[in-house]
A and B are shown apart, each in its own frame.
Chain A
Amino acid sequence: MKSIVAFAFLAVVISAVSSELHCTVKRPNIPNDWIDMVRPCVEEMKKQIQKEINASMKYLAMGAHFSRDTVNRPGFAKYFFEAASEEREHAIKLIKYLLMRGELVSGVSKLIKTSFDALPTTHWNNAVAALEDALKTEAEVTKSIRNVISVCEEPNDNSRFNDYHLSDYLTGEFLEEQYKGQRDIAGKISNSRNLWATMVNLENSCSIKNCCKQCKIKYSRPQFV
């Protein structure tokens, strides 16, 4: 208590003397022996962050497209908006990883572009076309993550530094999700196509009245609302 009073007193005295703010602190010299990531690997990781953001933008555009009044696929819109948020989370996870390894002390301002290029596509003919585009995008991301792992295991800078921890992290956290995600999208494409085929068959073979029950079952799948 005494010390707090003394501190407050001191503070009042000092503030009376100087009115200018001392806004920054001197950073202590911290040993950097523990920072062991090598440049080629860090650069690949940084590129991957932007790739995740780009994927996020693509899914955001898909979400926007399927939300439109004259397109009207709210189930798909919700699915793609969530996918966009997930891709953003991936970028943040990669950032967090680099911070944990002592990286990103400088050059953060250029880590993510705040200017965007035009998106290659903002219109998809139907949900299957968008899912196929998404599956292609995911396959590219998977390939890109595999490339990060390979650069970080055998960087071409004579360091011979094999980044075991990073390759384990990318394999366990990222590749795992990529393969599961790709399987999920492929399944959705299959479902959508089957649904379409079923509808055509129904129209050809029986009256709506008879098939109503079947239609309801097919339509009730939540992702195709």
Chain B
Amino acid sequence: MKMNSSTLFVVCLLGIIANVNAKECRATIQDACRPYINKQSNPLLESTCNARYGAIGHLEPDLVKYATSHLVKSFEYLLMSTHFGNYDMNREGFEKLFRGYSDSKWADTIELIKHITKRGGKMNFSPISTSADNYELYEIESLAKALDMEKSSMNDAYLIHERAIRKIDSSHDPEISHYIEEEFVEKEAGTIRELTGYITELSQMLAESEDNGLALHFFDDYLKGL
């Protein structure tokens, strides 16, 4: 009996603590609306009156990292595009291709930020340090780098997806796994296939001729016309 009552006490205490930590929104609102209760400065701040549910708490850092990596890649593609735009390289097709990738990564950065906030998350703009890289590449080298970049992006998407579909370690979140599939995985598969096609085509053209100036010119013209 004594044992029982103390257990009950502990259970009640735990219940109260749990209640304080994750107070339901309605209860918070009711407290806030009660006239003579001792009110916190902003009771809504620590309540569940927000858009957080599911595994956003677990997946938020991954999504922020994913958005940040899109942002960095958008600038990397912009530099690659710039290099092909100078009068010496003069490859309008390559310039256009990488500008397109840069624009798309930029737009996806904003979309990701919107989605993070849609789920009650917060985009984190902490400092990003990336190793200094060379973006002044020759034609086929630039396509190869782009393929590596896209595969790494796809890998990021798969990692988030893998966590989101796992029911263990409370990272299960169908909304996020669906979002990643619908908005990123599908498009990324297309980009990876497109780049591989370019590399196959151009390397065949380059293998076939000692004077590759013509091959590169034709290939650039092809990219320009897309």
Contacts and interface: CB of A to CB of B under 8 A. Distances in A.
A joins B in a complex: yes
Interface of A: 11-12, 14-15, 18-25, 27, 30, 53, 57, 60-61, 63-64, 67-70, 77, 81, 84-85, 88, 92, 95-96, 99, 102-106, 108-119, 122
B194 interface: no
A63 B128 contact: no
B122 A68 contact: yes
Nearest to B110: A81
B86 A23 contact: no
Contacts of B55: none
A69 B87 contact: no
Interface stretch (B1-9, B135-143, B162-170): B135-143
11 contacts: A11-B208, A14-B210, A60-B113, A60-B125, A64-B116, A67-B113, A70-B50, A105-B88, A108-B79, A108-B82, A117-B127
Contacts, number: 133
B212 interface: yes
B117 interface: yes
Interface residues of B, number: 52
Nearest to B73: A114
B141 A23 contact: yes
A85 B128 CA distance: 20
Given A23-B140, A109-B133, A109-B135, A30 B208 contact: no
B209 interface: yes
A194 to B, nearest CB: 26
A144 to B, nearest CB: 20
A99 B83 CA distance: 9
A21 B110 contact: no
B127 A12 contact: no
